[in-house]
Structure 1
């Protein structure tokens, strides 16, 4: 049976991650309070932000921005959208 967590984004018990996604207290927080579904949605959104905003993840300011956006996204707060992103039409 998979482990469940009370997801802070969706405010319900959902399947949790299988492992801590990154080291440190923030990674533990995600592991304990974010569902697998919310984390997968975040990683897709993070990729869009990095690509659309041309972020260099070697830059400290870019990493700080992504960390702030991750916190907002996973907490259900307002977060930045990727301007110019057009979802793929899967009904072809």
Structure 2
């Protein structure tokens, strides 16, 4: 049976990440507070931002920007969107 975590994005118990997704304390914090579902959704959002905004991941300011966007995403605050992106209808 999978472990669960109280997800800060969805405010409910959901499947936990199997390991920290980032190195260090930040990765540990994410593993304790973010569900696997929320992390996968963030990964898709991050990929859209990187591709559409032509972000350079070698640039420290880009990494800082993405970390800020990640925190906003998990806290259900408004985040930047890729221009022209239309979420799929359910």
The alignment's TM-score, normalised by the length of structure 2, stands at 0.92
Point out 4+ residue stretches in structure 1 off by more than 6 angstroms. Answer: none
- Confirm or deny: 8 A CA contact 1:52 1:84 kept in the other structure: no
Give the drift of 1:85: 2.3
What does 1:49-88 align with in structure 2 at a 5 Å threshold?
49-87=49-87
Q: Deviations over 1:32-83 (max 9, x none)?
A: 0000000000000000000000000001111110000001101111111111
Task: Give ranges in structure 1 of 5+ residues lacking alignment.
Answer: none
- Match of 1:22, SS state, is coil
RMSD across aligned positions (CA): 1.4
Aligned residue pair count? 89
Q: Return the alpha-carbon distance in structure 2 between the equivalents of residues 64 and 23 of structure 1.
A: 15
